[in-house]
Chain A
Amino acid sequence: MGRYVARRLLLTIPVMLGASILIFAMVYALPGDPIRALAGDRPVSPAVVQVLTERFHLDDPLWVQYWEYLKGLFQGDLGTDFRGRPVLDTIERTLPVTIRLTIVAVIFEIIIGLAAGVLAGIRRNSFFDNLVLVSTTVIVAIPILVLAFIAQLLFGLKLGWFPIAGTREGWYSYVLPGLVLASGSLAYVARLTRTSIAENLRADFVRTAKAKGLPPRRIIVQHTLRNSLIPVVTFIGADIGALLGGAIVTETVFNLPGIGREVFDAIRAQEGAVVVGIVTLMVFFFIFFNLVVDVLYAVLDPRIRYD
């Protein structure tokens, strides 16, 4: 296992480098004059242009710029935006919002998704089972953008239960965006749990448990559920990595100042350092949680061995 983890960790290095080069190239290699964009209509003196150009290595070839960036990165310096604010500060300011949003979303996935999946899986072909099937099919097909507006209209404006923008009401303001963000994964968790439980109920070890006269409750909880949850736990694990990076739409519509909205604002303003910094962080989350999940799989399911 140790060797497997080490090899996987080594493999993440080229992927992280590659992803950051890709974003870096798109942001920096293309023409466009960020100094002019920053100044807007005001005239800029040649001296200022020269200082800014040198500080941000705007005249150097791409690979020099990237090398300078990497050197900074290894010293914990992600660079500064054009107003001189360190990118690290921006991340420290916005990341907690995204983490809170992710926590709320995962809680929804676990509570609603798991409960619906377990009940549907135990009572296959019941009314509830069909309800879960149809509603998950519909939810998966609704674009998150549309879902966000429906939630705002229904729960925010019509019913007035939840705030529809900002973070002023603490954790409560995360409920609605968290539910919207979780919706797709929630439906997937429900389906995964349902199929997994239905499969395991037909497995030999469940038949054995029944044959030796165990009470139904124990069969469901100890023998079926614990085995059925393995794919669900790993899906949720991988989803955390995706949620931490994929909330651009939700954060924008609900006006939450997290890294998703921050990176969107930075892309619009062509703040290269901020974009590259945050995207590299997102890629790291994605790869890290996928690695955790693969290891977790072997821990939870003794049939899987990597060495």
Chain B
Amino acid sequence: MTDQQQADLRKDEIEAGTTTGLASPSVDVTSDRQNSLWSDAWVALKRNPFFWIGAVLTVVFTVMAIVPQLFARGQDPRACDLANSRGLPSAEHWFGYDVQGCDYLATVVYGARNSLIIGIFAVVVILVLGVAVGAIAGYFGGVTDGVLSRIADIFYALPLILGALVLLRVGPETSIPIINSRGPGAVALALALFGWMTAMRLVRSQVIAVRNSDYVAAARAMGAGNTRILVRHILPNAVAPVLVYTTITIGVIIAAEATLTYLGVGLQRPAFSWGLQIEAGQDAIRSAPHLVLFPSIVLTLTVMAFILMGDALRDALDPRQRA
């Protein structure tokens, strides 16, 4: 790998947030036992309190998304009584009531499902796109790489929210399936379409970094084809940074979904979504601030769960950071 390629790789990793790029290499070769990257990482993870906070929150919100009934304290978010409109939190109803007089705890709890579905679905699409395009660009290089990288540059120059906003605004008037559905699928696809570039650059850099290594040459000498070399020998090297990026990105996507929904182009009523709840609550921000506060807190905790885990994973998986 030339110095220029090394520098490019660092730059891509820093932009993706999978490393801070500042620590100098310091690998302890005198240690009597050589652990694998993953067992070392697990030892470091176990000691990191941020990782445990993130992991516990993730489990809680995942369970909440699957069986919201467990958290709703027996209330049905669709059983509303206008007499209770904007009722304040009480011992019986922890989060109070919303404008329609629905139990707000139940309403907020039921919002977890859409957030997580969109977060995970979008990230899966981002991974598929990013890994496929990145691997092809990095492995074949030359004109292929030039064209694919310029396309990524174009998407990169458009802010995520802005691109998704335009697509979701015009989406319902088109005949493209899923995109015209106004549902979670449309939001996830729109976010993935404007968010795949970092994953692509990350995979591309890693592929370039190992493409010319001896073991890849050895595999080729043994008669392995392009696909086999890519899948079996090159991509496994990109797993660590991509895993860190993926974890953080689920959080970023969940925040972006709430933002798009708040702006009116994401999920639509009567769906349960924290973005919709914040949007509905902002009109009453003076008289009933709890309507904005509770969905905001839950949204923040969900986003934080993934970002904390991603941060901890990065620190654990980047040997350059270990002093």
Contact = CB atoms under 8 A, between A and B. Distances in A.
Given A18-B151, A26-B167, A199-B24, A149 B282 contact: yes
A283 B22 contact: no
B303 A137 contact: no
A31 B114 CA distance: 29
B150 A18 contact: yes
B58 to A, nearest CB: 13
B165 interface: yes
16 contacts: A18-B154, A22-B158, A23-B158, A137-B311, A141-B300, A141-B303, A142-B300, A142-B303, A144-B255, A146-B278, A153-B293, A157-B286, A199-B24, A248-B165, A279-B162, A283-B157
A31 B173 contact: yes
Interface of B: 20, 22-24, 50, 150-151, 153-155, 157-159, 161-163, 165-167, 169-170, 173-174, 251, 255, 258-259, 262-264, 275, 278, 282, 285-286, 289, 292-293, 296, 299-300, 303-304, 307-308, 311
Interface stretch (A43-51, A108-116, A215-223, A262-270): A262-270
Nearest to A142: B300
A60 B174 CA distance: 19
A252 interface: yes
A289 B45 CA distance: 37
A: interface residue count bin: 35 or more
Would you list the 7 A-B pairs with minimal beta carbon distance, nearest first?
A: A141-B304, A18-B154, A143-B255, A146-B296, A283-B157, A30-B170, A141-B307
B259 A249 contact: yes
Given A199-B24, A246-B159, A283-B158, A141 B251 contact: yes
Contacts of A249: 161, 259, 262-263
A145 B292 CA distance: 11
A149 B308 contact: no
Contacts of A18: 150-151, 153-154
Interface of A: 14-16, 18-19, 22-23, 26-27, 30-32, 137-138, 140-146, 149-150, 152-153, 157, 191-192, 195-196, 199, 231, 242, 245-246, 248-249, 252-253, 263-264, 267-268, 270, 275, 279, 282-283, 286-287
B166 A26 contact: yes
Contact of A270 (B159, B169, B263, B303): B169
Contacts of B282: 149, 253
Nearest to A20: B154
A146 to B, nearest CB: 4
Given A18-B151, A32-B170, A143-B255, A248 B157 contact: no
B20 A153 contact: no
Nearest to B254: A143
A287 B300 contact: no
Contacts of A191: 20
